[in-house]
Amino acid sequence: MKQTLLFSILVIAAGLTVGCQSKVAKPDSEKTPIEKASVKLDKVKAETKEAAHAIKEYAYAEKAEFVDKMNSGLMEMQSEMDRLSAKVDQENSELKADAQAQLEAVREKWAQAKKQLDQAESATESDWNDVKDGINESYNDLSDSYNATRQWLSDKIEP
């Protein structure tokens, strides 16, 4: 398999070398199959490179919208946590300490997500995808924790 691939590369390289030596471009009808394949390969490489760059630019171009959307979600979640905390503070049961501990754990995850989101505002195009993936992971972890805590509070305290 490796020999076939190596042979193919050498044949294509030889075809490119021969093709580059001619000063006048041959019409498609006069090109050898290797020359035709080489031209198609070059065309596909160029198109793939352009498409990848366009996708990357589009994703980076949406950075401000993404950051705004995530900030809005974090602010809504913070308001809801404040409401839940106020409800827990009114409780006089033995569950109050457990509820406060769970809410504090959610607040810590919220702070981590907010910190990553703040860093995203200065992300460059080259590191945007990694930053965005980190934010998504952090936000999903926060959301899961928040939902579990809210469900627990609903079951135990009925906020």
In the chain, where does DSSP find H-type helix?
Answer: 2-21, 33-61, 63-89, 95-120, 128-156
Tokens of 102: 């769970």
Give residue-wise pLDDT tens across range 53-66. 654 565 778 888 88
**Interatomic CA distance for residues 95 and 157, integer angstroms:** 8
**Interatomic CA distance for residues 146 and 152, integer angstroms:** 10
**pTM surpassing 0.75?**
no
CB–CB of 134/156 below 8 Å? no
Give residue-wise pLDDT tens across range 15-55. 544 444 444 566 666 777 677 666 766 776 666 666 556 54
Give residue-wise pLDDT tens across range 59-109. 778 888 888 888 888 899 899 899 889 988 888 778 888 889 999 999 999
